[in-house]
Amino acid sequence: MSPDGITLFLITGELQSQLLQGRVDRVYQPQQMEIVLSVRKPGQSLRLLLSAHAENARLHLTSRDRKNPASPPTFCFVLRKYLEGSRLVNIQQVGLDRVVYFTFSRLDESGGYQDVQLISEIMGKHSNLILVDRKTGQIIDAIKRYSHAVSRYREVLPGRLYIAPPAQNKQHPLELDEEQFISALQGGGWDKTLEDLVFKRLAGIGPELARELLFRANLPLDLRLEDCGEYELRSLWQMLQKTVGPLLQGNSEPTLVLEGKNPVCYTPFLPTQYQGLSLTARPSLNAAADDFYAGHTEIARFQQLQNTLAGTVRQQSARVEKKLSLQQQSQDDARQGQDIRIRGEMLLAHLHLIERGQTRALLPNLYDPEAPPLEIELNPSLTPSQNAQQLFRRYEKARNTLKINKLQMDQTMEEQRYLSSIRTALDLAETVDELNEIRAELEQAHYVKARDRGRKAGSAPREKPQQKSLPQVSKIGSADGFEILVGKNNRQNDYLTMHLANKEDLWLHAKDAPGSHVIIRSQPGRQIPDATLEQAAQLAAFYSDSRRSSKVPVDYTLRKNVWKPAKARPGFVLYENFRTLLVVPEAL
């Protein structure tokens, strides 16, 4: 989501009041398409973020720290040369277009002032940041360079004259009377929706504001121009004047729209179209934009990391399934050893009926006289007794294979259960930190490569390793005043059960299902009420692999009855003296 022209107009106005005459202290390029300018003014230091990202091109002040690469990109070096030490003397938006000029002034080597402009063009996939010499109009550099092979309209290359983006030929919403407004909409086509026409025919209005105008005017969002009468168009015109007029006078109500914890959008007005969502007032549009994109970035990081880890678990699970299938086949083959033993015994019992040189023998089965005779393949170069001994050796080999294979299958099924617990933890994860805990566990189990285990010669030295932080388990208070602790992955479960919990605390876990360890903190002299026990059991059921079931059995016992076997995988414990409670899964 990128800001529309009106939102950019208001953001630019806030920047003018806060940044003008500030000195550029430092320039950073934390990402390929993102620049951060540190601007210092008396008593304060502000950070201006400018992005040319195809989907999230924007500009606003930011309070978030961003990790910078050890070696800055070329464009960052160019900006440092021309901008560091300069003063920001002007910020100007072109009409209601999404193009903003930042003018910087500094003393050059000859002692005169040199002005340069950093131009932010917010145009979707064509967004760009271009540094221009204001005196000559020549491009110094750009975060995206391209020639006429990419764009027939203009080249964006060092040394070329800067050519502004082509005009969009949209009408300023406040420079139209009602008749001109209707005429502007009709010029876009009768079969188009009003939302699409308002967005494409009026300057500065994005899809968000277009929908809001229709919603406030009590008009359907899918209403087409050909289905409109005088009443609908007049209602939309009046709402346009009532809503856009105050915004362009600087009267905004910066609002962040949230669905749960996830940011949906930010607006310069109090939206009425989002029924049931959370609307949070922000002190400025810059703050609203910063909060929105920080949340959006966090969600993108979370989804990317979750998908990566889930892919690793799927791949490893498929490997384990194949391994288990092969072991099962080997087990089935080895079970034929019992039949081999019987054949050897029958051969010994009937040696007098067999002569050397025979290739096969039909012998009765003394263990089952009613069964058909046993057909036994013989090696003609061996005596009947030697053939029997060969069968016994095959039997011993099959019996040993069964023992070894049983141990291997147990280990494989343990790994299968462990990967299932990781899959459940990934489903339960709610933050990037929780996903990083899971990744660290997968690193320790050698399912993924460890990060930063060394560095190449000549590369920047690694930062001093930080002390590992303790897992952060969730804490919930019951209505009865008891504290309930919940682990959501194997690392948290181990820490909660084996280190954090006391022996008299109550421990809960969904029966026969991967999931959370849950602890109810004991209180001296107080018995845990049934309501608190049920609440904790519901949490254990919800944060488990059985959470989609209508009823889930949950085992509970004192923590002192829980132990971890030697060399057990993370999160695995055994317990005894437990009782079981059947509950409905609920996060509460």
Secondary structure (DSSP) of 540-572: HHHTBTTTTSSSEEEEEEEGGGEE--TTPPTT-
273 falls within a domain: yes
Closest to 144 (Cα-Cα) out of 72, 51, 68? 51
- The CATH code of the domain that includes 95 is 2.30.310.10
Q: Residue 484 belongs to what domain range?
A: 474-583
514 falls within a domain: yes
The SS3 call for residue 93 is strand
Domain shared by 134 and 191, yes or no: no
301 falls within a domain: no
Domain shared by 184 and 225, yes or no: yes
Contact 256, 292 (CB under 8 A): yes
Contact 471, 437 (CB under 8 A): yes
Residue 468 is predicted with a pLDDT of 59
Domain shared by 84 and 184, yes or no: no
Q: How many CB atoms lie within 10 A of CB 205?
A: 24
Closest to 84 (Cα-Cα) out of 52, 116, 53, 132? 116
Query: In 32-107, at which residue ranges do the beta strands (DSSP E only) sit?
Result: 34-41, 44-51, 58-61, 87-93, 99-107
Residue 30 is predicted with a pLDDT of 92
Closest to 46 (Cα-Cα) out of 63, 65, 29, 67? 63
Residues of the chain with pLDDT under 70: 111, 333-338, 451-469, 588
Domain shared by 359 and 401, yes or no: yes
Rounded Cα distance between 363 and 117, Å, is 101
Domain shared by 335 and 221, yes or no: no
Domain shared by 417 and 324, yes or no: yes
The per-residue b/e assignment along 522-535, b for 16 or more CB within 10 angstroms, e otherwise, is beeeeebeeebbbb
Q: Model confidence over 544-588: pLDDT tens digits?
A: 999 899 999 999 999 999 999 998 889 999 999 999 999 999 886
Q: Phi and psi (nearest 5°) for 117?
A: -125, 130
- pTM of the model as a whole: 0.72
As for how many domains the chain has, the answer is: 4
Rounded Cα distance between 79 and 68, Å, is 15
Domain shared by 396 and 349, yes or no: yes
Instruction: Tell me which residue has tokens 């990566």.
Output: 308
Residue 561 is predicted with a pLDDT of 96
149 falls within a domain: no
CA dist list (Å): 477 to 179, 484, 532, 582: 62, 6, 9, 21
Residue 119 is predicted with a pLDDT of 96
Q: Residue 516: exposed, middle, or buried by beta-carbon count in 10 A (0-12, 13-18, 19+)? A: buried
Residue 369 is predicted with a pLDDT of 83
Domain shared by 410 and 500, yes or no: no
Domain shared by 558 and 496, yes or no: yes
Residue 162 is predicted with a pLDDT of 95
Domain shared by 15 and 115, yes or no: yes
156 falls within a domain: no
165 falls within a domain: no
Domain shared by 113 and 73, yes or no: yes
22 falls within a domain: yes
525 falls within a domain: yes
- The CATH code of the domain that includes 240 is 1.10.8.50
Domain shared by 273 and 318, yes or no: no
Instruction: Tell me which residue has tokens 């003063």.
Output: 87
Q: Phi and psi (nearest 5°) for 26?
A: -155, 150
Helices 194-201 + 178-186 axis angle, to 10: 100
